[in-house]
Structure 1
Amino acid sequence: MTRIAIALTPEFADWESALFSAVARSYLGAEIIIASPDGSPVKSMGGLKVMPDVAYGALDPASIDALIVPGGLSWERGTAPDFTEMVQRFRREGRVIAGICAAASMLAGTGILNNVAHTGNSLASHRAYPAYSGADYYRDQPQAVRDQGVITAAGTAPISFTTEILKALNLWGPEAEAEIKAFAAEHR
């Protein structure tokens, strides 16, 4: 069974990983593990209160196939936890790592985007992080980008973000394609 961790921050953007978790868990049988900084409940930008399964420290990349981080207001407010060590552990283990919106810029700050194609809300938001030197790999496009097990997206791209994660985890097939096609119908 595919095991996926979604690391939430206080004031996370609740729509950015919702489609992914619903499709992966309910239709494709993946196990979704929700984590917060200390395992305590977190509230989304929209006021959704989530009771996590574990704290970040309990996430072991040896037994988890992917780490997904939605964006949110905690980065804008300067209150987001430092993800560098956790992201580096997952990267060393060769796990899929995905960040959308402000979390894509957080990935820039960990240095893992310096040599892979990527996108995000803007190049300027990535450049705000001193560890980022990957501007030559930045793709200014509205859809998610997947390269070498790293997926990034602007906050306006939860559908292509979901699609690229499913493909990276080898969960893409007729059933996944049908679900995503249904959710993306308004974009035709």
Structure 2
Amino acid sequence: MERQTVHLAVYDTMADWEYGYAIAHIQSPEFQKVPGCYEVKTVGATLAPVTTKGGVRIVPDITLAQLVPESSALLILPGADSAATGGIADFAEMAARFLAAEKPVAAICGATAALAQQGLLDKRAHTSNAPEFLAMTGYQGSSRYVDQPAITDGNVITASGVAPIAFAAEIFRILDLYDESTLDAWWQLFAKQDPAGFYALMQDQEQAQEQAQ
């Protein structure tokens, strides 16, 4: 089996909490339909280290110039201090290339504003931190705004910056990472903090192991 690559955009002041649930579980084979089918690689404007909002230093695996949409399973765009004011415009331009190649893009918090500035949300149902947050971009898609934590329309996932769990769940769906029952159990555990979700995950894993024997 050839592993597919999910690309995580990295830039200074990126919000650590917004992408953590998604990439941690993409990288963890437990409970996945096809364990280990994806890997995560980071993409920077250059190969120079970036520093996250939490002070974590990340050295990108590749540069934007090296990224080929057709070779990727998904591009994840976290928010950052300058994301809503043009600071990640080059990454939003790459997002447009991904969509032109019919490859999915997932944006959260300020990164949704970057997509709006590119006109990528004008004709798609989407969400963000608030309608007013996107209105400041001058985009034409306000009538398509949906007031919920995260949403997927076609190949575009958008989410509020305070909804990293819902963001991750939408990413798992678009990657077809889990069976629906497994995703329901994951949601029960992480979104609802219900321990019953953990036992449901364990049961799903046992059943998968039995079927594999």
TM, length-normalised to structure 2: 0.80
Residues 83 and 113, structure 2, Cα contact 8 Å, conserved in 1: no
Contact 1:151 1:164 in 2 (8 A): yes
Aligned-partner SS, 2:158: strand
Matched, 1:138 2:145: yes
Q: Is the 8 A contact 2:12 2:52 kept in 1?
A: yes
In 2, Cα distance between the equivalents of 1:116 and 1:71?
A: 20
- Aligned pair 1:10/2:12, yes or no? yes
**Whose Rg is larger?**
2
Q: Secondary structure at the match of 1:16?
A: helix
Gap change, CA 1:21 and 1:177, over 3 Å in 2:
farther
User: How do residues 51-70 of structure 1 correspond to structure 2 at under 5 angstroms?
Assistant: 51-70=59-78
Q: Which structure dedicates a bigger proportion of its chain to helix?
A: 2
**Could you report, residue by residue, the CA deviation over 1:57-101 in whole angstroms, capped at 9, with x for unpaired residues?**
211111001111000112367644433421111011111111000
What is the identity percentage for the equivalent residue pairs of Structure 1 and Structure 2?
Answer: 35
Count of aligned positions: 186
Alpha-carbon contact 1:9-1:74 (below 8 Å) kept: no
- Opposite residue 150 of structure 1, the aligned amino acid is V
SS where residue 99 of structure 1 aligns?
strand
Q: Is there any run of 5+ residues in structure 2 with no aligned partner, and where? A: 196-213
1:123 to 119, 128, 131: 131
2: CA distance between counterparts of 1:146 and 1:3? Answer: 20
Root mean square deviation, CA, Å = 2.0
SS in structure 2 of the partner of residue 34 of structure 1 = strand
Deviation of residue 175 (structure 1)?
4.5
Gaps of 5+ in 1: none
Structure 1 residue 110: Cα displacement: 1.2
CA distance in 1, matches of 2:129, 2:191: 20
- State whether structure 2 residue 159 is matched by structure 1 residue 153: yes
Distance 1:175 1:42 in 2: 35
Q: What's the offset of the Cα at 1:180?
A: 4.2
Is the 1:12–1:74 contact (alpha carbons within 8 Å) kept by the matching residues of 2? no
Structure 2 residue corresponding to 1:82, chosen from 80, 90, 99: 90
> Please, what TM-score do these two structures have when normalized by structure 1?
0.90
Would you say the 8 A contact 2:7–2:72 is kept in 1? yes
